[in-house]
Structure 1
């Protein structure tokens, strides 16, 4: 929408001729400075802004999508473990029907190993991405505040729609990020509850011991850090939106709003 906005604004709100250059003025994708007359070389200015916009948008979309996909994968793996533990007797019976002995023990060992692999996977994500999350947390409030400020200053309905769509895009990305981070904590803790609710008293001692170790491991907190500030959870997302008001007041210079 930001790319299309200049063409629509040229029709709805034409700027007229420039008194300095005598060239017809046209709207830009976003305010920018060029070392040349942007009205006379509008196509060049537009192409440069288009390239810069695509570069920034590509970084936001692909970087965010990759990270959110990793978190979604982790949440899904923990839910699979919960499902199998909740229905362990049914899966063990199906495995026993094909002639596999000690089916409960085999499944419990496989789940325990999968659980450890997922814990290691989340810890590696946390180690690799915690400072990225810290920078994203620090910038997100200011970035959203700038979009809100642009909404307050906009007079064109097209520009307002573009800013609203961008605000919704950023908010959705942040929601998916912090919601999945919160879900990792919740779903990992739910594994212990699913193990406890299974038919563990009816299993042999070795299988029960494996399940008890899984319960103990699941009760250990598994969280993503926002650098030294805290953890990735819904409360942190709420804090981001609370900070928007302060940034808007700082940008406008009006603390009485």
Structure 2
């Protein structure tokens, strides 16, 4: 189940990279309406189709993120809380075991794997956030002015929508970002210190 979640993140990241508005198919150096009028009509038709495809793709990405968020947010909350508890307990086990024992080594490996698992989710969630905000800049930097008025208005709507970041959460409690990852590390360290005080 967790692999489906990670795969969904990777797909969203890939889709954002593919949907970035590109100027490579248009003539560079378009500065004014006079330059646009000099363009080949086939280039203008291609640009209109390309922008339309990018806009449709952006809408599909938004729907995909909404589906992933609605299906997995409570699962991620359980995952995060469980990981926080297990990480705290494994740190406690590390502190009471001898460094040369196999139990110490196995608990160290377990703690590292728990940290890595959380990092995968938070890193990809952070990438979704960052890439979703980049869409507005990419759309603005494109040669949108070579298209007809309807397409220009659609690009403006894409820019407005892209200014609201797409975010994935853990049960609507915390967003999956690198900041959340750091707060989990701090919280597990704090809980570890409490357990250590109780044990003394």
TM over 0.5: yes
- What is the Cα deviation at residue 181 of structure 1? 0.7
Deviates more, 1:191-200 or 1:163-172: 163-172
Q: Of 73, 76, 89, which aligns to 1:130?
A: 73
Deviations along 1:200-238, whole A, 9 cap, x unmatched? Answer: 233332332222121112112311122242322111111
- Mapping for residues 146-161 of structure 1, pairs under 5 Å: 146-155=89-98, 156-161=100-105
1:116 and 2:53 equivalent? no
Residue in structure 1 matched with residue 84 of structure 2 by the alignment: 141
Deviations along 1:137-180, whole A, 9 cap, x unmatched? Answer: 22221111111112112224433222222222111111110111
CA contact (8 A) 1:74 1:184 kept: yes
1:250 and 2:188 equivalent? no
Higher relative contact order (CA 8 A, sep 6+): 2
Distance in 1 between residues matched to 2:25 and 2:199, nearest whole Å:
60
CA contact (8 A) 2:44 2:146 kept: no
- 3-state SS, counterpart of residue 213 of structure 1: helix
1:188 and 2:132 equivalent? yes
Q: Of 58, 72, 78, which aligns to 2:10?
A: 72
- What is the Cα deviation at residue 239 of structure 1? 1.1
Structure of higher CA gyration radius: 1
Residue in structure 2 matched with residue 87 of structure 1 by the alignment: 24
1:230 and 2:174 equivalent? yes
Structure 1 unaligned regions, length at least 5: 1-62, 91-96
- What is the Cα deviation at residue 240 of structure 1? 0.6
- 3-state SS, counterpart of residue 54 of structure 2: helix
Distance in 1 between residues matched to 2:118 and 2:65, nearest whole Å:
19
CA contact (8 A) 1:88 1:198 kept: no
Distance in 2 between residues matched to 1:183 and 1:219, nearest whole Å:
15
Residue in structure 1 matched with residue 165 of structure 2 by the alignment: 221
Provide the TM-score with structure 2 as the length reference.
0.83
Distance in 2 between residues matched to 1:176 and 1:132, nearest whole Å:
15
- What is the Cα deviation at residue 132 of structure 1? 1.0
Residue in structure 1 matched with residue 111 of structure 2 by the alignment: 167
- 3-state SS, counterpart of residue 132 of structure 1: helix
CA contact (8 A) 2:84 2:184 kept: yes
Q: How many residues align?
A: 187
Distance in 1 between residues matched to 2:154 and 2:25, nearest whole Å:
13
- Mapping for residues 16-95 of structure 1, pairs under 5 Å: 63-82=1-20, 84-87=21-24, 89=26
CA contact (8 A) 1:178 1:236 kept: yes
Provide the TM-score with structure 1 as the length reference.
0.66
